[in-house]
Amino acid sequence: MFKLDAKLAVYLHRDAIDFRKSINGLAALVEAGGMDPFGPALYAFSNRHRNRIKLLGWGGNGFWLLMKRLEEDRFVWPRRAQAVVALTPEQLHWLLDGIDIEAVRRHPARQYRHAG
């Protein structure tokens, strides 16, 4: 079964794609980008209008293809320069909920040895 947990890598294809592509076409895009479509990762793609998103993942014995279509809104897509953007599963959830992930900043992780 395909699981979206904290250990799963998420890669966002920044440029819009032809949304007629299905599993084979999306897997070919992943391979053309030098990545492994059969690996423990989820690959996200969007259309030009940014109102649809497709998620491709390998489930051990076959691919999963999930799609979300917004009726009135648009996804806030990252504006970073690289063609593929690495996200955490949490950031993917934010993106799917309409949150601008580039505007959200966490506190840095800290390591403490003593209280006080």
- List, for residues 45-72, the tens digit of each pLDDT value: 999 999 999 999 998 899 999 999 999 9
Residue 49 lies in a domain: yes
Tokens of 27: 């897997």
Residue 37 lies in a domain: yes
Residue 3 lies in a domain: no
Residue 30 confidence class, pLDDT cut points 50, 70, 90: very high
Q: Do 69 and 93 meet the contact criterion of CB atoms below 8 Å apart?
A: no
The range of the structural domain enclosing residue 22 comes to: 9-96
Tokens of 50: 């940014």
Residue 1 lies in a domain: no
What's the pLDDT at 2? 53
Tokens of 3: 């699981």
Residue 107 lies in a domain: no
Model-level pTM? Answer: 0.83
What's the pLDDT at 7? 79
Residue 4 lies in a domain: no
| Tally of domains in the chain | 1
pLDDT greater at residue 2 or residue 88: 88
